[in-house]
Structure 1
Amino acid sequence: MPTPALPARSASAMAARWIKLNKERIRALLLGTISLLLFLVAWHFLTKYRVVFFVRFTNVPSPLAVHASFVKAIHDPHFLMHIALSCRRIFLGFSLAALIGVPLGLVMGRFKLVHETIFPVAEVLRPIPAIAWVPMAIMLWPTNEQSIVFITFLGSFFPILVNTLHGMSLVDPVLVRAAQCLGAQERAIFREVYFPASLPHIFTGLTVGMGVAWVSLIAAEMISGQYGIGYFTWEAYSLVQYADIALGMITIGVLGLASSLLVRAIGKLVMPWGRT
């Protein structure tokens, strides 16, 4: 007796439906892949022919040289230790910034007196770049490790705080009055109105803060660190190892991208109403 073709048709129909539903994602993935390939091809030819046109590619390593450096480094426990230490510093500094910045932003956005007291100090400190904090951090903290985590914390703290404040300022006051008319206490209003309404801006601040945290961390590791991917990159420059410089830069970019994607993924889990 011949096998019915219904399962095959059903599978093809499901595949077609999945492609239709994820058409935009597939398109974005294809365009991103093509863009990266074109970038690698351009990089290869610019370094192969040592092009000099305003920008000099005479000493820039080729993609193949960077790949060879990566293959060598991935088997080196020191390189993996650099990555692990940088990730640990990011986790500590960013977590502290989120645990302090989000509640502080919520309180400042709700209570005018707290906002008027803390906001001027925050606005004075916020424009100071992370690299300018390095000497002060070395004086404030007894070890380099603590000072680097502190600089990473500062880099991510202010974007989180400002975006949380912005989210609080955009909460519809009609919702707050409606909750008060229904007898909600201050704690319930925070939990049921202010916090959910501010979540999109909070996660925007967390995403931006993660990127700034990496910038701050690399600056601190290059100046005062003894380990970390920033130190690895600076050491490669000091030893004139061009391929390792590019490897360190690419590693920083990949780690930063992965951590930002992780924050966005957590945001989608926390805010299911924002999914398309």
Structure 2
Amino acid sequence: MTASHSASLLNDDLATAERATAPASPLVVERAETTEVRGSSVWRTRVLQVASVATAIGLWQLLTADKVRWWLRFDTLPTVTEIVREFGKQLQSDQFYVDVAQSLIRILTGFGLAAVVGVVAGIALGRSGLFAAVLGPLTELARPIPAIALVPVAILLFPSDESGIVFITFMASLFPVLVSTRHAVRALPTIWEDALRTLGASRTDVLVRVVFPGILPGVFSGLSVGMGVAWICLISAEMISGRLGIGYRTWQAYTIVDYPAVFVGMITIGILGFGTSGIVELAGRRITRWLPREVAE
């Protein structure tokens, strides 16, 4: 081995040692600190969420078990232990799962139709002057009408209660999706479309490459709101004209003064609504993860 080769190897070893012992760059340190802070913040948020729910449950048990009657009459409400006992009983019943499945089928059918129709109509209203002139006034006239007020119309219009309930759910979630999509289309910078058209893009290319990606945050905001409204109107419709479903079973429990079962129904509705809304929001975050975080949220 020559002296020059030995010197070269020695220099390489020294350079490697210097890189290994050199302090991390400020950017790497900052990213690590940001990740650590964000992780601790998430855990702190989770702990506070669990603590708030546990506190509310404990307070409910305390007030109802001691039959507190001070302005509000907690002595007429079931205790947490009674509700848990009734929940366990219903979880062992096949009827409970039939009602849950029926409500989920109705909500997914009505909401799914509203998502498709709302997005398509919202894009058309935002981009077509003719479509906006013809159908815009009709949508604005129908939008303020509560979907639950359409129950008499649904009873007269559809041959079965099932179709009517799906129709009410569809109408409840349609307008949040439609209006949010329309606003998102109109808010798109025109320079994006102009830049694509100068390159010879067709209308289809503009829709696929500009409109659809650009409106996704607004669309999922409307879908999230629409899911919540759909559950409200679905449960109301089931209470009025349904024969199966969580809303129908909750109302039946109220008519026979079975208050623990009423609260089981309410809790089940809350869990189902929370779960379906969470799925919509998660899908929105996944699909729009290529956007800057503040825009995607």
1:214 aligns with 2:231: yes
What is the match of residue 157 of structure 2? 140
What is the match of residue 189 of structure 1? 206
Contact persistence 1:47–1:62 (CA under 8 A): yes
What is the match of residue 243 of structure 2? 226
SS state of the match for residue 234, structure 2?
Answer: helix
Question: What's the CA shift string for 1:61-99, capped at 9, x where partnerless?
Answer: 111111000000001000111111000000100000011
SS state of the match for residue 72, structure 1?
Answer: helix
Contact persistence 1:130–1:219 (CA under 8 A): no
The structure number with the bigger radius of gyration is: 2
Question: What's the CA shift string for 1:32-86, capped at 9, x where partnerless?
Answer: 0000011101111111122223322121111111100000000100011111100
What is the match of residue 269 of structure 1? 286
- Residues 275 and 35 (structure 1 numbering): CA distance in 2 closer, same or farther, change over 3 Å? farther
1:71 aligns with 2:95: no
2 CA distance for matches of 1:43 and 1:251?
18
Mapping for residues 1-276 of structure 1, pairs under 5 Å: 20-274=37-291, 276=293
2 CA distance for matches of 1:131 and 1:53?
35
Dislocated runs of 4+, deviation >4 Å: 16-21
Question: Alpha-carbon deviation of 1:192?
Answer: 0.8
What is the match of residue 13 of structure 1? none
What is the match of residue 4 of structure 2? none
Which residue identity does 1:71 align to in structure 2? G
Question: What's the CA shift string for 1:166-216, capped at 9, x where partnerless?
Answer: 111110111111111121111111111111111001000000000000001
Contact persistence 1:155–1:213 (CA under 8 A): yes
Contact persistence 1:66–1:247 (CA under 8 A): yes
1 CA distance for matches of 2:42 and 2:80?
28
TM-score scaled by structure 2? 0.85
SS state of the match for residue 272, structure 1?
Answer: coil
Question: Alpha-carbon deviation of 1:131?
Answer: 2.0
2 CA distance for matches of 1:31 and 1:273?
30
Question: Alpha-carbon deviation of 1:274?
Answer: 4.0
1 CA distance for matches of 2:248 and 2:126?
39
Question: What's the CA shift string for 1:103-159, capped at 9, x where partnerless?
Answer: 110111111111121121111111111221111101111001010000000000010
2 CA distance for matches of 1:103 and 1:17?
40
Which residue identity does 1:122 align to in structure 2? T
TM-score scaled by structure 1? 0.91
Question: Alpha-carbon deviation of 1:21?
Answer: 4.8
Which residue identity does 1:228 align to in structure 2? G
2 CA distance for matches of 1:205 and 1:265?
14
The structure with higher relative contact order (CA 8 Å, sep 6+) is 1
What is the match of residue 4 of structure 1? none
2 CA distance for matches of 1:255 and 1:24?
27
What is the match of residue 21 of structure 2? none
2 CA distance for matches of 1:203 and 1:110?
19
Contact persistence 1:90–1:214 (CA under 8 A): yes
1 CA distance for matches of 2:141 and 2:197?
36
1 CA distance for matches of 2:240 and 2:154?
12
- Residues 181 and 216 (structure 1 numbering): CA distance in 2 closer, same or farther, change over 3 Å? same
- Residues 55 and 116 (structure 1 numbering): CA distance in 2 closer, same or farther, change over 3 Å? farther
Where does structure 1 lack aligned partners over 5 or more consecutive residues?
Answer: 1-15
Where does structure 2 lack aligned partners over 5 or more consecutive residues?
Answer: 1-32
| Matched pairs, number | 261
The percent of aligned pairs where both chains have the same amino acid is: 41
Question: Alpha-carbon deviation of 1:275?
Answer: 6.9
